[in-house]
Structure 1
Amino acid sequence: MTTDGAFTYNGGRVDPGETQNIRYGISETYLGDPVRIPVTIINGEREGPTVFLTAAAHGDELNGIEVVREVAFEWDLSDLAGTLVCMPVLNVPAFLAQERYLPIYDRDLNRSFPGHEDSTSAKRMAYRIFQNFIEPCDLGLDFHTSTRGRTNMLHVRADMKNKRVARLARAFGSNVIIDGEGPEGTLRGEATDAGVPTITIEMGEAHRFQRRLIDDALAGVESVFAEYSLRDASLVRWPGWRTVITDNQEKTWIRADVGGIVDMHYEVGSLVHIGDRICTITNPFKDDNTTVKAPFTGVLVGVLENPVVYPGNPLCHLVELDEKTLGVVEQQQSPARHTHV
């Protein structure tokens, strides 16, 4: 931001009270045509923080696209105190191909930040995004889904050792926060290192819009806006219960030891107790069943959607709950949400 409150990027300027929809060039195709990402910049008339909202860093992760678009185009932002930088589709080449990674050499854009202007195609794209629209901000929300064949409950991933990140993560108001810095090259990790506290929001599955999760995420965005006083008429929300999963708590992706067809007995977000039968793996004749039991008590943050597995394939992501949180969740989830007794 400039001293007069304008948001500037290489090639443009958005003054207070203005909104711009731009298609910003970050690369070129084999034919020399521009690869451009859609960016909406809304600069409020009142002073406040500059916040970026990003989605589809992986091209098949669609839920976050609708979250970012609804904030930018359906919310009344006439009282906005600050600036919003909305990027609903970061990875345009992968989005067009409906693939997770960049079609160019199958590179992961979300392992390429902060990028470099003289490096690989992915890092050049990341560099232009980062320099123009990420680094000038004060905080950021990066929306993701699970990969294809799996689904996630809505939860936040954040470096809770960083006080500024922890404030942002708690403001979003999810039940589960998984603590960690994130792998090298991720948008949230590199933005945070650059002084822009950023969290990842995981929600649902790839290749679809899931309205309930989109609405929950929008409520989280509104809660963040309340925490940082971007809007007047909103409140910071309390989700009813919250657990922060740290290195001191158990968390694991439970994997199949045999191949077969999976009958999942619990939904994503369900509470399971130690020894509960999470799923059963069978052969086509159903005469050789392998039961998979919960190794500890916790919540299923992620579960398999595609019901076929090889040995070693992930079945579910289980995170442990502390005793206090466990009691609250047991009350809210009684009777347990499962499909088989």
Structure 2
Amino acid sequence: MKVRIGVLDRSQQEKGMVGRLDGGEADFGVADSYYRKLAAAARNADAEVAVISPMELDVRAGKAQGYVLDDEGKWRRRELDLPDVFYDRMTGGRHPNPVVRSTLMAVERELAERRPFVNPLPLRELSWDKLRVYSFLAGIGLGSEGDVRVAETLPFSLDAVGDLMDKYGSVVLKPRFGQRGVGVAGIRRTDEGFEVRYRRESWRFSQDRLGEAVEHAMNVSAVEGEEYIVQQAIDVATVDGRTPDVRVLYQRDGEGRVNVLAAFGRLGAEGKIVSNAARGGDEVVLDRVLDAFGDDAFLRAKASGNVFLGANMVVDEIQTLLGSFGQVAVDGLLDKQGNFYVNEITAVPFVGLSLGGRDLGGIAAEQVVGFALRISGRKQE
């Protein structure tokens, strides 16, 4: 009997039915191409992929409703036994609705007690919560000095904003449970007072009106029902006026080896303070981010080295403290001196892209399937 890999779909995770149906077929939007690559890789390994909504899992009964790619290349709905291993493509722990978030997390915890995951629950729970990420990074020795750093991060309050403004001169307000760049605002001190930035707009406030500046920032940016954090803003080395970040994507293959699938940058849309591709940013090769340092060979080499130094340090600690993983991304920012600020740990990274002539989605799919078979606990028959 084939090993079945259950893919928990992130695109419509809160609905009882996954995907969009058209004449009995499902379409998974931007994830569809990657899911097809997963299905092809599984078929080549004599396994099977089923795309499933968490709301259509009956964990105790060992049953699920899901979609399997048929021989005609169409996603068909089927009743299934509970898959042998799961690959979480949701962002349940980051859902903006606290009630939905709690429900999804309860389903995932119950499922994790019965089946292995490519991206295990402790890692997913860490990555969803920016305060926990900061505590984890601070706990492994990262701080405000050195080649690899972490931005100071506090639970949101007016006092916390004031404290970090006094220390650093500018701060960022973010949802605690990240929303892929939604709801992020910046406040910086100017000669005249304070400037609030959100998306491509800005507002100015006099020196005695920090409280009003903070209130305005929250009014224009806040995600309803979401907790917020305040974080030290980094003086980022920009590229043609665009805000970049860097992502290093790690995979574990069917032999259990960890390798770097890709290291690349994301350039934010012009005028925006976030770099997320979902908010209009672009994925670019790492060298394009290093263009922020121009022709300075020393700074380019320092920055590149610090990216891998920091990302490898984080991944080593993840394995030591949280155990084995199949896929994870380490995100960060480079300041104008080439120091690397680790900013996020992403347990559900988007991998369905092509970059530098490489089909990262295809490579990732083969390695995910290989690792899933390795941890499934079953031998192929």
What range describes the TM-score normalised by the shorter chain of this pair?
under 0.3
Which structure carries more relative contact order (alpha carbon 8 Å, separation 6+)? 2
TM-score (norm 2): 0.24
TM-score (norm 1): 0.26
Q: Hey, which of these two has a bigger chunk of helix by percent?
A: 2
